[in-house]
Amino acid sequence: GGTRKTYAIKVITSTIDSIARALRKKLPIIWCALTGVATFLISGKTIYSTFRIPI
């Protein structure tokens, strides 16, 4: 079984998103991870792609 990291990340992000919406601000989160599998789980991009880091 997993450690529920993805769940925790999504709960935290949802809370930040709610605060940003209440303040009429853009969501201040960039979804990225080290591996393609992890990016799939969080619907993001790899850290290399996000910050244009050559691999």
Q: Are 16 and 28 in contact (CB under 8 A)?
A: yes
Q: Are 20 and 7 in contact (CB under 8 A)?
A: no
Q: Is residue 33 part of a domain?
A: yes
Domains in the chain: how many in total?
1
Q: Tens digits of per-residue pLDDT, 1-55?
A: 567 887 888 899 899 999 999 999 987 788 888 888 888 877 888 999 999 999 8
Q: Is residue 34 part of a domain?
A: yes
Report the pLDDT value the prediction gives residue 37, as an integer from 0 to 100. Answer: 85
Q: Is residue 44 part of a domain?
A: yes
| pTM, full prediction | 0.60
Interatomic CA distance for residues 32 and 9, integer angstroms: 12
Q: Is residue 9 part of a domain?
A: yes
Could you tell me the residue range of the domain that residue 16 belongs to? 5-50
| Three-state secondary structure call for residue 55 | coil
Q: Is residue 55 part of a domain?
A: no
Interatomic CA distance for residues 43 and 55, integer angstroms: 21
